[in-house]
Amino acid sequence: MLQVPFIRENKEQVLIGLAKRNFKNAEAIIEEVIATDELKRSTQVKLDTILAESNSLNKEIGILYKSGEAQKANILKEKSAQLKVTSKDLQEEYNKAEQDLLNLLYTIPNVPNKIVPAGSSEEDNETIFEEGDIPTLHTEALPHWELAKKYNLIDFELGNKITGAGFPVYRGKGARLQRALINYFLDKNTAAGYEETQVPHLVNEASGMGTGQLPDKEGQMYHVNEDGLYLIPTAEVPVTNIFRDELVKEEDFPICLTAYTPCFRREAGSYGAHVRGLNRLHQFDKVEIVRIEHPDNSAEALNGMVDHVKGILRELKLPYRILNLCGGDLGFTSTLTYDFEVFSTGQDRWLEISSVSNFETFQANRLKLRFKNSEGKSQLAHTLNGSSLALPRVLAAILENYQTPDGIKIPEVLVPYTGFDYIK
C-alpha cells in the first residue's frame, strides 16, 4: 500500500508510474486520496481543538464547584455537554474519512520501478538474459502429459476423480522425483543462507491483506467460509506475515527465509495445450524464498535472488531466460519483477517457473513492518520474494527435455535425491 505522504509529495511520479501500469482513472483516484486525506486531517484538527476546549472547561468547572460557585459551574456543564456531542460527531466523521482513505489506498497498485518497461501484456515483457542449449529430441518425442501416462508418473484422470481438474496424483517415480526436487531446492536455499521454516497452509484475512492478496485477488483464493480462513496461494503469504506488526532490529538485516508448501489457486481455467498437464494447476508444490531488507540494500538483494535462481537452473541444465515484466503484466504489489522461463522442448514453448520481486515498502506499509534506523526513528522495511522454485513446470521441462528413445534421464544433480538415474 502506498503511503499518503509519498503520494502527496510525488504526485506526478505516482501518476506516471500508474500510467505505465495502464491503471484506469488514476488521476481521479489520486485526487480523491489527497482530498480525503485533507478532510481527515482538518477533522482531526477540529476534534483536537474541541477536546482541548472540553478538557479546559472541565477543569474550570471543578474549580467553580470547589469555590462554591455552583450556578456558574452548571452553566459551563451545559456547554461541556454540547462539546461532547460535537466531538462525537467529529470522531464519527474522522473515522469515516480514515476508512474511506484506506479503501481508496487498497485499490492503488505499487508504483513500477523506473526500469520497468511500458506495455499492456506479456507480449511487451523484455527478455534481458538467456542461457542454455535447447536439446534436439528424437522424432517420437512427447509432451510431458503423455510421458507421465506412458511411465505411470502422474495420473491426471485419477486426480479429476478424487477432486477435479487441476489436482494431479503423483505416483511411483513421479512422486519420488517431485520429493527430490523439493528437497534439492530447500538444500540449495539453506546453503545460501535462507532459514528453513514450516508455516500454516491456511491464513486469516489480516494475513491476506498484509501481503496484498486481499482484496485484490480474493476471487483467486479458496475460502473456508465458516472459519474465515484462506488456503494459501503461495508460501509468501504466511512467511512474510511472520513479521506483521513487528519492529525488527536493523542489525538483523537481511532476514532470509525459505519454505516448502502446497499452493492453492482457483484461477479461471481455460482449455487447450497451453493449460494441459502440469501447465496450470489448482494445487501445486512450490519452494519460496523471502527476504526482509534494509531499504538501502533491497535492489542488490533482488539481484542476488536472481543469481541464486540462475544457479539452480544451471545445475539442472535447463535452458532458461529472464524477463523484465512490463507495467501491464506486473503484479499488483510489485515494483519490479523478473520472471524466469524454461524452454519446454516437448511443447516447443517457454514456461514460466519463477517470479522474483521487490515490493519495497508496499507490503511493509500494510504489514506495519518497521525497524529502528541508526537515528532511532521508526522506518518501513523492504520485502522481497521469489519462487525457488515452482515445481510443476520444472518437472514438465525435465520430463520433456531429458527424454530419450529409451526413457527419461534424471538430471545428475538430482540423482542423490531420487536414488535412480533413469525412468524406463
Residue 50 sits in the same domain as residue 157: no
111 domain residue, yes or no: no
Say what the pTM is.
0.93
Which CATH number characterizes residue 27's domain? 1.10.287
Q: How many domains does the chain have?
A: 2
Do residues 344 and 401 make contact, with C-beta atoms less than 8 angstroms apart?
Answer: yes
CA 193 to chain centroid: 21
Question: What's the CA gap between 178 and 171, in Å, rounded?
Answer: 10
pLDDT tens per residue, the chain (424 residues)? 999 999 999 999 999 999 999 999 999 999 999 999 999 999 999 999 999 999 899 888 888 888 988 888 888 888 889 999 999 999 999 999 999 999 999 999 999 999 999 999 999 999 999 999 999 999 999 999 999 999 999 999 999 999 999 999 999 999 999 999 999 999 999 999 999 999 999 999 999 999 999 987 778 899 999 999 999 999 999 999 999 999 999 999 999 999 999 999 997 555 455 678 999 999 999 999 999 999 999 999 999 999 999 999 999 999 999 999 999 999 999 999 999 999 999 999 999 999 999 999 999 999 999 999 989 999 999 999 999 999 999 999 999 999 999 999 999 999 999 999 999 9
213 domain residue, yes or no: yes
Q: Which residue, among 203, 284, 293, has the nearest Cα to 242 in the 3D structure?
A: 203
| Radius of gyration over every alpha carbon of the chain, rounded to an integer in angstroms | 27
* Segments of 194-319 assigned E as strands: 195-197, 202-204, 223-224, 229-231, 247-248, 255-264, 283-293
Residue 321 burial (CB count, 10 A): 16
Which CATH number characterizes residue 196's domain? 3.30.930.10
- Helix, strand, coil percentages in the chain from 3-state DSSP, rounded to 5: 50, 20, 30
Residue 96 sits in the same domain as residue 179: no
Do residues 251 and 350 make contact, with C-beta atoms less than 8 angstroms apart?
Answer: no
- Last residue of some domain: 74, 106, 138? 106
The C-alpha cell 519452494 sits at 287
Residue 141 sits in the same domain as residue 58: no
What's the first-to-final CA gap in the chain, in angstroms? 51
Residue 89 sits in the same domain as residue 185: no
112 domain residue, yes or no: no
72 domain residue, yes or no: yes
Q: Which residues contact 179 (CB under 8 A, 6 or more apart)?
A: 417
User: Residue 86: which domain range?
Assistant: 4-106
Residue 171 sits in the same domain as residue 216: yes
29 domain residue, yes or no: yes
Q: Which residues of 273-311 are buried (b: 16+ CB within 10 A; e: fewer)?
A: eeebbbbbbbbbbbbbbbbbbbbeebbebbebbbebbee
Do residues 294 and 256 make contact, with C-beta atoms less than 8 angstroms apart?
Answer: no
Do residues 2 and 362 make contact, with C-beta atoms less than 8 angstroms apart?
Answer: yes
Residue 297 sits in the same domain as residue 398: yes
Q: Cell for 258? A: 525459505
299 domain residue, yes or no: yes
Residue 52 sits in the same domain as residue 133: no
Cis peptide leading into 5, omega within 30 of 0? no
